[in-house]
Amino acid sequence: MKRRRSAEKRFRVYGLISVLFGLLCLVVLFGDILSKGLAAFSQTVIRTEVVLDADYLGLNKNSSSDEIRAANFEGLLKNHFKEMVQPDGRKERRQLYSMISAGAAWQLIEAVQANPGLIGQAVTFDLIADDDVDQWLKHDRGVEGINTRMSEVQIAWMESWIEQGMLTTRFNTLFFTNGDSREPELAGIHGAIKGTFLTLLVTFLLSFPIGVAAAIYLEEFAPKNRITEIVEININNLAAVPSITFGLLGLAIFINIFGVSRSTPLVGGLVLTLMTLPTIIISGRAAIKAVPPSIREAAFGLGASKVQVVFHHVLPLALPGMLTGTIIGMAQALGETAPLLMIGMIAFVVDVPGFINDPSTVLPVQIFLWSDSPERAFTERTSGAIIVLLGFLVVMNTAAVMLRRRLERRW
């Protein structure tokens, strides 16, 4: 008896351990991503007063936008920093210049384009620092024996800048307003978010009506015969087919046969539509099934036709459930990566897409692309993008749960 009791206890503990292991994995995963990614939301800048020398730039207050763009702001910045820290020799000069991002000159250009009156004045700018400076300030400063990419001279400069309050961090707005870039400090997720939005828009516009229509047909109209059975088996199978095969279909049929252009939200949305349809159909059918037959019988009793019963009575009652299923399907589509790689959404796209036929990338693919980049700063940005992606998913799933709670009706 004692042995049986202890066996009982052991079994129970095994079960508890399994559940706890699953939860532990969840905590570790989130903790890991958060600890790596939160730093991506702050950015290191160098605050300095730059004299916008009219003679050096060859500009005056009436210069046009194009003239401003062509002016040598990069040289101006180099001179500015050269005078400020007085580097010794060519090698140090090169090290100094490498500490400022290539985007810093663009900050000046944009400021002057917005207000040509600044030319000739001394203006204070928060110049973007290079990603190596950024990483040093966030992670390496004051840590003994770490293998940093910065030389001793550079570290000395940075320490003196910090003393003068020049080197600070601020909220990383660029991360949300820029497209992709080869420079980690300039890379942002605006393009990816816009691409994701357009792709999901196409997916929703196609999959929701088609999915609802298919669910209605199968649940209300389909005769019980072979064909219906085949359709049903098909849908259940499609829900479990590896997502990558949908990518193969998109490549072979949409792109090669129908000539839809690659890398666009349009073709991405088409592929994701086929992928999410089974989810929407299955949840839609469950929602229709949950509407009690008494509603249908009452409507029939009042002389409504079959189509009228379905569209005027069953569908409005089943719609909340269908919407919940659709949101869950959309959340799946949002996280999907593999089929989109096949149809060329992996391209390096700097521009923010404007419409569904512009080349673009999506958030998960952007994560995949960045995770391949060797720079340390990109790891941080990848985690940052993952946090944003998970944020979207949490919002969508919470919306689905709330919708279900609020609109759930007990019969």
Partner 1 sequence: MNYSSLIIVVLILLGAGYLLGRNRARAIAGQGVKLHSLPTHYGALVALWTGLPPLLLLLLWALAEGPVVDHLLVAQLPEAVQQGSSADIQLAISKVHNLASAAGVGAVAELQPAVEHLVALESRANILHSGVVLSLALLGVAVTWRRVQPQLRARSEVEGIVRKLLFASSGIAVLTTLGILASVLFEAWMFFGKVSVFEFLFGTSWSPQIALRADQSGSSGSFGAVPLFAGTLLISAIAMFIAVPIGLMSAIYLSEYASPRVRSYAKPALEILAGIPTVVYGFFAALTVAPVIRSIGASWGLEVSSESALAAGLVMGVMIIPFVSSLSDDVINAVPQSLRDGSYGLGATRSETVRQVVIPAALPGIVGAVMLAVSRAIGETMIVAMAAGLAANLTLNPLDSVTTVTVQIVTLLVGDQEFDSPKTLAAFALGLVLFLVTLVLNYVALKIVQKYREQYD
The footprint of partner 1 on residues 217-246 (CB under 8 A) is 217-218, 221-222, 230-231, 233-238, 240-246
Q: What residues are paired with 170 via a beta bridge?
A: 43
Residue 77 or residue 255: which is nearer to partner 1 going by CB? 255
Residue 24 or residue 162: which is nearer to partner 1 going by CB? 24
From candidates 249, 286, 319, 399, binder to partner 1 by CB under 8 A: 249
Query: Taking CB under 8 A as the criterion, which residues in 174-213 touch partner 1?
Result: 209-211, 213
Give the three-state DSSP class for 48: strand
Query: Taking CB under 8 A as the criterion, which residues in 277-336 touch partner 1?
Result: 277-278, 281, 305-307, 331, 334-336
Tell me the closest approach of the beta carbon of residue 229 to partner 1, in angstroms. Answer: 12
Query: Taking CB under 8 A as the criterion, which residues in 84-103 touch partner 1?
Result: none
- Contact predicate 270/250, CB 8 Å: yes
From candidates 338, 399, 403, 404, binder to partner 1 by CB under 8 A: 338
Distance (Å, whole) CA 330 – CA 321:
14
84's enclosing H/E stretch is helix 73-85
What angle in degrees, to the nearest 10, is found between the helix axes of 190-216 and 315-335? Answer: 140
Tell me which stretch binds partner 1 (CB under 8 A): 101-109, 163-171, 178-186, 339-347.
Answer: 339-347
CB hemisphere CA count around 189 (13 angstroms): 28
User: Which sign does the torsion angle of CA 289, 293, 299, 300 carry?
Assistant: positive
Give the list of residues 6+ apart from residue 317 with CB closer than 8 angstroms, or none.
291, 295, 409
What does R_g of the chain's alpha carbons equal in angstroms? 29
CB hemisphere CA count around 118 (13 angstroms): 19
Task: Select from 276, 364, 288 the least CA-distant residue to 322.
Answer: 288
Query: Taking CB under 8 A as the criterion, which residues in 27-46 touch partner 1?
Result: 29, 32-33, 36
* CA 254 to each of CA 178, 219, 258: distance values in angstroms, whole numbers, following the listed order: 30, 30, 5
Q: Hey, how many other C-beta atoms are within 10 angstroms of the C-beta on 106?
A: 15
Residue 23 or residue 407: which is nearer to partner 1 going by CB? 23
Tell me the closest approach of the beta carbon of residue 86 to partner 1, in angstroms. Answer: 40
Number of residues that bind partner 1 (CB under 8 A): 86
Residue 117 or residue 303: which is nearer to partner 1 going by CB? 303
Give the three-state DSSP class for 14: helix
Tell me the closest approach of the beta carbon of residue 259 to partner 1, in angstroms. Answer: 4
User: Which sign does the torsion angle of CA 115, 121, 124, 127 carry?
Assistant: positive
Give the three-state DSSP class for 249: helix
Tell me the closest approach of the beta carbon of residue 295 to partner 1, in angstroms. Answer: 19
Residue 46 or residue 362: which is nearer to partner 1 going by CB? 362
Tell me which stretch binds partner 1 (CB under 8 A): 68-76, 195-203, 215-223, 292-300.
Answer: 215-223
What track of x and - describes contact with partner 1 for positions 361 through 390 (by CB under 8 A)? Answer: ---xx-xx--x-------x--xx--x--xx
- Contact predicate 173/93, CB 8 Å: no
Q: Give yes or no for residue 54 binding partner 1 (CB under 8 A).
A: no
Tell me which stretch binds partner 1 (CB under 8 A): 13-21, 111-119, 168-176, 316-324.
Answer: 13-21
Residue 121 or residue 256: which is nearer to partner 1 going by CB? 256
From candidates 64, 160, 397, 398, binder to partner 1 by CB under 8 A: 397
CB hemisphere CA count around 245 (13 angstroms): 6
Query: Taking CB under 8 A as the criterion, which residues in 110-129 touch partner 1?
Result: none
Tell me the closest approach of the beta carbon of residue 26 to partner 1, in angstroms. Answer: 6
Tell me the closest approach of the beta carbon of residue 66 to partner 1, in angstroms. Answer: 19
